[in-house]
Amino acid sequence: MKKILPLLIALVALLFLWIFLSKEEPITGEFYKSPLPEKFIKSSYYSDNDLANKFVIYVDFSKSRRNRRLWVVDKGEVIATSYTAHGKKSASFSSFLAPRKFSNIEGSNQSSLGFFQITKEIKMGHPKKHDCSCDNYVKKSTCSHWPKAFGLIGKSESNSNAKVRSILIHTGSYVSENGCTGNSNGCFTVSPEVFEILQNKRLLFYQPKMCYLVAIK
C-alpha cells in the first residue's frame, strides 16, 4: 500500500497538469480558429450533401465540453472554432470527459448525432445575462437580451425526432467564448458570438435549407 500511494499521487498530479496545459485559450479580438478535423470531411454527410459548398456547424462529441469542439464553416472556410454544450443525460461522470450516451427519444435529455437542417429563428424565454460583445445585442461587456434560438430538423435516423424533442441551437449563460460550464437538455447551446454569425448567415442565405449542422462522435 505504501508503494502504491506515491504512484497514485503522481498519476493524479500528471492528470491535473495535462488538463491545465491542454486548456485552449481564445485569441483576443477575433475568433479562435482551428482546421476542420478530417473525420468530418471523410464522413458520408459531407459528400452526400455537398457540404463543401454550404454553411455548416460541425460538432465533435468525441471531445469534452471544456474543449473547443464546434466549427462554424462557410463554403469550406472555418469562421470560428468554439464551445457547445451537450445533453445532461449524455454526460460522463466528469466534465473533463466526452459525452457517453446519445438518444433520439423525447424526454431523454440526451444529445443526438447525425445530420440536421437549421430552420427558422424563434424567441424563447425571458431576457438573460450573457457575457458578449455582439453588435446585434448591446455593446457592453455584459448585456441583457431576449434569448433566441434556431430550430433543427433531424435528417438522419439517429436524430429524426429532433423537431418533436424541440432540439435547438440557442444561447445560454453557461456557454461563452471563454468556455462551457454546463449541460443542456439535448440542445446545442452556443456562445452569443457564434449565434450572431448564424443570424447573419441566415439573413444572407434567406433559405433555411442552405444551413446545416453535423454532429458526430
pLDDT digits (tens, 9 = 90+) for 35-86: 999 999 999 999 999 999 999 999 999 999 999 999 999 999 999 999 999 9
Q: Which CATH architecture has domain 27-216?
A: Beta Barrel (2.40)
Adjacency order of strands within the sheet including 70-74: 77-82, 70-74, 55-60, 211-216, 114-123, 148-154, 168-171, 188-190
pTM over 0.85: no
Cβ(101)–Cβ(198) under 8 Å?
Answer: no
Res. 127 pLDDT band, cuts 50 70 90: low
pLDDT given at position 21:
42
CB atoms within 10 A of CB 216: 17
Mean pLDDT of the chain: 81
Beta strand ranges found along the chain (DSSP E) = 55-60, 70-74, 77-82, 114-123, 128-131, 142-145, 148-154, 168-171, 175-176, 179-180, 188-190, 211-216
pLDDT given at position 94:
82
Residue 151 has pLDDT above 50, yes or no: yes
